[in-house]
Structure 1
Amino acid sequence: METRDPELKKELDATLQARRELGPEYESELVDSFLEKLDGAVDRRVRRQLAERRMIVARGTRSRGEAGGGFGSRYGFGIFSLVMALPLSGVGAATAGLPGLIVTWVGIVGVNAAHGGLLPRFRNREKRREPDEWD
């Protein structure tokens, strides 16, 4: 998506030119007019993005930047959790011994399973077997 809107750039240039021609006494009105146009452009862009996201959700597909979609999202979380597992294991083992270490690793595996989508897939299977009245 392009970050600059050529139409808004033209509007800004026209507003600045009008300010030069009319003088500072009309500056407030010119700025208000430009801000209204900018607000409308932002509203249109936000509405378009929301519509795109709703379409993605309705189709059941993921966009590239969503969670679980790209390499960084999938493997970055796993790598981070393994790096954090070292100090967490030390704390768990030091405070509660072997049971603390086991609880720590069950938590790490659980968090990674939830992030990886294992739990939502399991829940979706449950919903298919017994449809709820809200589905």
Structure 2
Amino acid sequence: MQDHHDIRQDVRATIGARRDLGPEYEAALVESFVERLDSTIAARVRAELQATGYHPQQHYPHPQGPPPAPRRKGNGTVPIALGSLGLAIPLTAVAAEGGTVGILVAWGGIVVINIAHALGGLRHRD
């Protein structure tokens, strides 16, 4: 699958840039990689929705678009945790090619995402 190849290239490029730039740029490199990964995932979801024939405007022809989703109780921690674990397995496999630094960069990104989600949940409760 082409997307997997692109992600592997992104991980390799991030690890290479970290080697060239040093640890002081690690946070910025991880953030950049996570943004590219988010874009890739969003594109896959859009492609899957289009492939299944789902078009939001057909279901909600109102000019305002679909109604807002009802607020659920809870903070969605379980889906984030499961998603992180699901991404951790292939990311670790790819990052292992970069050695310990690659694995640390991959897991660092996962940790940053989980911490950001947890802190965001705390802010919304206040």
TM-score tier by shorter-chain length is 0.3 to 0.5
TM-score, normalised via structure 1 length: 0.37
Q: Which has the larger radius of gyration?
A: 1
TM-score, normalised via structure 2 length: 0.40
